[in-house]
Structure 1
Amino acid sequence: MSDAASQHADEPTHWVLTLSCPDRPGIVRAVAGVLADHGGNITESQQFGDPLSGLFFMRVQVSAYAPREVLAGAMSTVARTFAMTWSLDVVGRPVRTLVMGSTAAHCLNDLAFRQRSEKLPVDLVAVVSNHTSLAPLAEFYDIPFHHVPVTSATKAQAEARLLELVEELDVELVVLARYMQILSDDLCRRLAGRVINIHHSFLPSFKGARPYAQAHDRGVKLIGATAHYVTGDLDEGPIIEQDVERVDHTRSVDDLVALGQDVERRALARAVRWHAEHRVLLDGHRTIVFR
């Protein structure tokens, strides 16, 4: 059990419970009843029933003296009754996170700075890159750096090394912070729901390479960035967060790139925070985000 979960006996633990299941009457009553039966005091509760998918989603924060195994055992019974997918974690526990990048440093720097200064609830356990440009930045923040070169001939070995690191370091979340390589379908399936990418465009517009040049060519008045879960379909994964910046005809491509980096940082940081705080639940190819 984590340090946060093994507090002094006279202090309750603050838990976050998330769940999804087919929508039907009695779900909230059953969950609240289980928590109340074990001395839980609900401090935050959000829920949503999606009429399109027919699924019900819920996020609850609860303060309770009951240990994890007791609460989890009680929830397991309710979960079987309602066919739930669910998780129970300690509020604010840092999520073990591996960041992947290539040469652009702004997203990695922002995440590391926010983790240090704003208590972003992640534990950055490694930086993996196909270049060495980010090594000094990783060293500055005291994050172990791993250079894993990628070519068409070594892609399989590089992904195997990534999976080794995920296993060895007990990684819970992988963040592609402007990692300019496409992950294989097999890797995306093995890490489904655990990889967040920042795309420097307001998806679904301007997919693929050089989106700012594409946007400039079309004379857009807004540029944006999209943080999404990674799937085998390029830039098609469930969207977590998007942000925009207004521009006009006087802006060059370089201007858009510079402005866009600020947007990318903001969108990615929010997506990582919400994921780490268990505020994002998958709803098919969409997400439910409890802010």
Structure 2
Amino acid sequence: MSLDTATHYCLNLACGSARGQVAAISNLLNEHGAYIEQFSVFDDHTTERFFVRGVFSLRSPVQVLEHALTGLATTFPNAQWKVHDLAVPTKVLIMVSKFDHCLRELIAQWRRGELNMDIVAVVSNHADLASIAHAEGLPFHHLPISADTKPQQEAQLENIITASGAEFVVLARYMQVLSEDLCHRLHGRVINIHHSFLPGFKGGKPYLQAFERGVKLIGATAHFATTDLDEGPIIEQSVERVDHADTPQNLAQAGRLVESLVLSRAMRFVLDRRVFINGKKTVVLR
């Protein structure tokens, strides 16, 4: 097949475990003219769930293949699947407060073509980072929030998400906790960066917590946001070595680099359609 004239797709499928699933999927793709370029699977024996990520090229209409996949999926237990056109950037909305390092790194990688996304808006409860968004030609929405106005603020946020068509919402050091109702409605779509190596030092001021415990490693964790604060399924983590001489300010300075790295790496996994939620955990197929 001439790959130059073909469209590249990614198949994501999760279902209950059963015999013959790899053969059935690969045979169906082959029968419909798909040229398989990548094919990764994982069977979780603890949850009896089976996960598939397949990247393939196709010159014929994808709708024919999707119709066949619909039929095949009915033979798999509790199957959920989708075919993604890899030529279409994923729409992403970024939320921030006053810290700019994660936002700047995401924008830089997006501009370099390293993250296959379309940043549809930047939303913040403060106006401090408006100039960054405006300089990049990105829509900026200032949505102040207080305990009394949180329901109205989140209603405005949901309207922006819907109007922009954002598939994912990235909390790039957005220093507010989303309500339980909003977390439920956006389940599996909100990615948060927390400035500690979870499950340690949850909640506020994790660098101060780390300093008070005299840790020798600090870290950052990218995870899906859930109704349980800082306990959502983990996508990516990393650490940085520190020592007894470091102040909380030193820890925060070192941590900002780790946060930016971890969030951008997690976003690459998500945008490449490598990440599956598996209960309280994730499966990241490489």
Q: TM-score, normalised by structure 2?
A: 0.97
CA distance in 2, matches of 1:16, 1:117: 22
In structure 1, C-alpha distance between the alignment counterparts of 2:84 and 2:62, rounded to whole Å: 9
Instruction: Count how many residue pairs are aligned between Structure 1 and Structure 2.
Output: 284
The residue that corresponds to 1:54 in the other structure is 48
| Residue number in structure 1 paired with 2:176 | 181
* Matches for 1:1-291 after TM superposition, within 5 Å: 11-82=5-76, 83-291=78-286
Using the alignment, how far apart are the partners of 2:3 and 2:43 within structure 1? 37
With 237-246 and 66-75 compared, the bigger mean Cα shift is at 66-75
Contact 2:220 / 2:239 at 8 angstroms: preserved in 1?
Answer: yes
- Which 10-residue stretch deviates more, 86-95 or 28-37? 86-95
Q: Distance in 1 between matches of 2:153 and 2:5?
A: 46
Name the aligned partner's letter for residue 224 of structure 2.
Answer: Y
Instruction: Note closer, same or farther for the CA distance 1:208–1:39 as it changes in structure 2 (3 Å cut).
Output: same
Equivalent pair of 1:14/1:63 in contact (CA under 8 Å): yes
**Cα offset for 1:92?**
4.8
Which secondary structure does the structure 2 equivalent of 1:174 belong to? Answer: strand
Q: Which amino acid aligns with 2:112?
A: S
CA shift, 1:102, in A, is 0.4
Higher mean alpha-carbon deviation, 47-56 vs 111-120, is at 111-120
Aligned-partner Cα distance in 1 for 2:129–2:190: 20
Aligned to 1:4: none
Given that 1:92 and 1:277 are in contact with CA atoms closer than 8 Å, whether structure 2 keeps it comes out as no
CA RMSD across the alignment: 1.3
Once the two structures are TM-superposed, the CA of residue 253 in structure 1 deviates from its matched residue by 0.8
Go from structure 1 to structure 2 and tell me whether the alpha carbon gap of 1:284 and 1:266 turns closer, same or farther (over 3 Å shift). same
The answer (yes or no) to whether the contact 1:98–1:127 under 8 Å persists in 2 is yes
Q: Quote the offset at 1:41 in angstroms.
A: 1.0
Contact 2:3/2:57 (<8 A) preserved: no
Unaligned runs of 5+ residues in structure 2 are none
AA aligned opposite 2:13: L
CA distance in 1, matches of 2:53, 2:241: 34
Aligned-partner SS, 1:81: coil
Which of structure 1's runs of 4+ aligned residues deviate more than 6 A? Answer: none
Specify every segment of 5 or more residues in structure 1 that has no aligned partner in the other structure, as ranges. Answer: 1-7
Distance in 1 between residues matched to 2:21 and 2:234, nearest whole Å: 27
Tell me the amino acid that sits aligned with residue 262 of structure 1.
L
Distance in 2 between residues matched to 1:93 and 1:217, nearest whole Å? 47
What secondary structure sits across from 2:259 in the alignment?
helix
Alpha-carbon shift at residue 75 of structure 1 (Å): 0.6
Q: What is the CA distance between 1:285 and its match in structure 2?
A: 0.7
Code of the residue aligned with 1:188 in structure 2: it is C
d(CA) in 2 for partners of 1:247, 1:21: 42
Deviations 1:216-273 (A, max 9, x none): 0100000000000000110010000001000111111111000000000000001111
Whole-angstrom CA distance in 2 between matches of 1:10 and 1:54 = 39
Distance 2:60 2:51 in 1: 24
